[in-house]
Amino acid sequence: MAEQDTGQDRTEQPTEKRLREARGKGQIPRSRELNTVIMLLASVAAMMAFGDTMAEQMRLLIAHDLRLDRHQVFDKSAVLEALGLNVLSALKLLAPFFLVTFIAVFIGPAVMGGISFSAKALAPKFSKLNPMSGFKRMFGLQGLVELLKALAKFFLIGGVAYVLVEMLVDRFLTLGQASLLEGVASGMDLLSTVFLVLSVALILVAAVDVPYQKWSHIRKLRMTKQEIKEENKETNGNPELKSRIRSAQMEVANRKMLVAVPDADVIIVNPTHFSVALKYDQTGSGAPVLVAKGVDHMALKIREIAKEHDVPIYRAPPLARALYQHTELNREIPEGLYLAVAQVLAYIYQLKQHAQGEMLRPQEPQDLPVPEEFLKNI
């Protein structure tokens, strides 16, 4: 949503999704000053590495051309043939230099924002033909920065060039007095020196331009708070809808859970806030299983169903809380609660036998052994 549509300021940093989308459109930070410096440094390195070889091959090439016979000079086909050979020789001579500079072309973009190719960036944008947009770019912040960079480069390069000329003027003047081989070698050495000094000088401009371009890129991608909210909805889903879905899922799970209450052997309560339903299957592993549990309203619902189906309800507050906190639904109770639950189940079974007239009324267990670690944070 555009800023003018929401009336909000773009104060929020761009999200990872926004940065990925911008990268897909070819919108990544770039610094022409950094590219220029790297190209110049690569050129200097190539000249230093291959300068002597290039100078020697150039000398041989010039010496060969100066030895053309008289009949070759006036023969058009011979001149064209010699020209073709010279072009091929020159390409071979400059091939290492071109290879180094070609590789250097990709170093600057890789350092700034990585290599990225986007077909969207190649698509024509007719908005760029709008004169008003052009004036905004010229007289806006970006235009001012470009003007300041141009002035800085002009004065910097001009000052460095003036100092170089003052320092190297004698060497430049003696080039014409040197032999061909010495002149070419000295010229290549002077050219490398000039390029190196100019490149080092432009590093100052690149050192300022690189952080600015990164800051400007992030600034253009800033988002409003409303845009972040909408993105979160698209990414994570509508919170209200997710809440309704969770409520529906919980309701279905509660209905399934309450169906198991009539088959439980005992309901342990606390006495109103917590209710847990346990079932003991002697054919299984031998440990009671928690088939239903609830707090407050759900706890009351479990007790109501238990009363309707004559399921025994036993009041044991610490044990009820411990079972509720430390036992998942449809899972066996923790081993540390075996003894306490066993005493409750034994008491319930004895009550059933007493109701059938098979034994005297049993004595209710006192001080159920609930370990302290199960009572922490309850």
pLDDT band at 28 (very low <50, low <70, confident <90, very high): confident
Average pLDDT estimate for 82-94: 80
Paired tokens of 207 = 């050192």
* Statement: residue 122 has pLDDT above 60: no
On the 0-12 / 13-18 / 19+ scale of CB atoms within 10 A, 347 is middle
At 352 the pLDDT is: 86
Dihedral, 5, 9, 11, 15 alpha carbons, nearest 10 = 0
Strands of the chain, DSSP E: 266-269, 274-279, 289-295, 313-315, 331-332
Calculate the CA 35 to chain-centre distance.
Answer: 25
Q: Which of 14-18, 86-90, 115-119 has the lowest mean pLDDT?
A: 115-119
- Range(s) of the chain covered by CATH 3.40.1690.10: 247-374
Q: Where is pLDDT greater, at 57 or 102?
A: 102
CATH class of segment(s) 247-374: alpha beta
* pLDDT, the chain, mean: 79
* Structure confidence at residue 126 (pLDDT): 55
Top-confidence residue, 211 or 26: 211
Mean pLDDT of 173-184: 72
Determine the pLDDT at residue 275: 92
Q: For strand 289-295 and strand 274-279, is the pairing parallel, antiparallel, or unpaired?
A: antiparallel
Model confidence at 1, in pLDDT bands (50, 70, 90)? very low
The dihedral through the CA atoms of 335, 332, 261, 374 has a sign that is positive
**pTM for this model (two decimals):** 0.46
| Confidence category of residue 252, pLDDT binned at 50, 70, 90 | confident
The tens digit of pLDDT for each residue in 338-372 reads 899 989 988 888 888 888 877 788 888 888 888 88
What is the reported pLDDT for 241?
63
Q: How far apart are CA 72 and CA 79, in angstroms?
A: 7
Range with the poorest average pLDDT among 85-94, 182-191, 197-206, 307-316: 182-191
| The predicted structure's pLDDT at residue 369 | 87
Cβ-based neighbour number of residue 41 at 10 Å: 18
Give 286's DSSP letter: S
What's the pLDDT score for residue 276? Answer: 92
- Whether the per-residue pLDDT at 98 is higher than 50: the answer is yes
CB burial class (10 A; 0-12, 13-18, 19+) of residue 309? exposed
More confident residue, 70 or 194: 194
